[in-house]
Amino acid sequence: MRSSSDQVLDRLDSGMCDFVARQDMAFIATSDSGGECDARFRAGVPGFIHVLDERTLAYPESGVPGWPGRPSENPHIGILLIDFGRDLLGLHVNGTARIVDDATLRDYVGDLATDADAVHADVVDVVGGRRPERWVVVSVREAYVQSPAPAETYARAKPWAKAKTLSGS
């Protein structure tokens, strides 16, 4: 993967695909028809965001009906994946989102895990341990890697260690 100063791609390259498959958290930004923005933290087991192909990502979403940026109003979406431990960099993915029900996505993507798939527990809804009803499918319009400097600075600062000290634990 190259940094953003080198290139902005209209798809994910192989290094980006591998990076997404290792991530267990993401920050997702959307906005509604009036331009009101929302950024949400999402987490799961590594690979909870599935790379369907170099131009398509999908992640399970149990809260779609209430999410502030409904794709029918404004389909633009931004995803930021940051690895603070291994790669010390961030991957930005911008594109358009649509909601696809679970059965429909499984008809097109044969290798999505089932409820009993322990290896791919990431597709099981966190609430109640059920298969998700819906997926957010993202068509990638641009992808780029942010320089590792901000992630390196954060990792060196170890704010989690300071928080533990401040809380008295």
CATH number at residue 53: 2.30.110.10
Q: Is residue 78 part of a domain?
A: yes
| pLDDT above 80 (res 148) | no
Q: Is residue 157 part of a domain?
A: yes
| pLDDT above 90 (res 8) | yes
Q: Is residue 2 part of a domain?
A: no
Instruction: Tell me the pairing of strands 37-43 and 50-53.
Output: unpaired
Q: Is residue 9 part of a domain?
A: no
Q: How far is CA 149 from the centre of its chain?
A: 21
Q: Is residue 114 part of a domain?
A: yes
pLDDT band at residue 48, thresholds of 50, 70 and 90?
confident
Highest mean pLDDT among 72-86, 100-114, 153-167: 72-86
Cβ neighbors of 89 (< 8 A, separation 6 or more) are 1, 3, 82, 83, 145, 146, 147, 148, 151
Q: Is residue 8 part of a domain?
A: no
What average pLDDT score do residues 16-29 get? 94
Q: Is residue 1 part of a domain?
A: no
pTM of this structure: 0.76
pLDDT band at residue 128, thresholds of 50, 70 and 90?
very low
What average pLDDT score do residues 84-112 get? 88
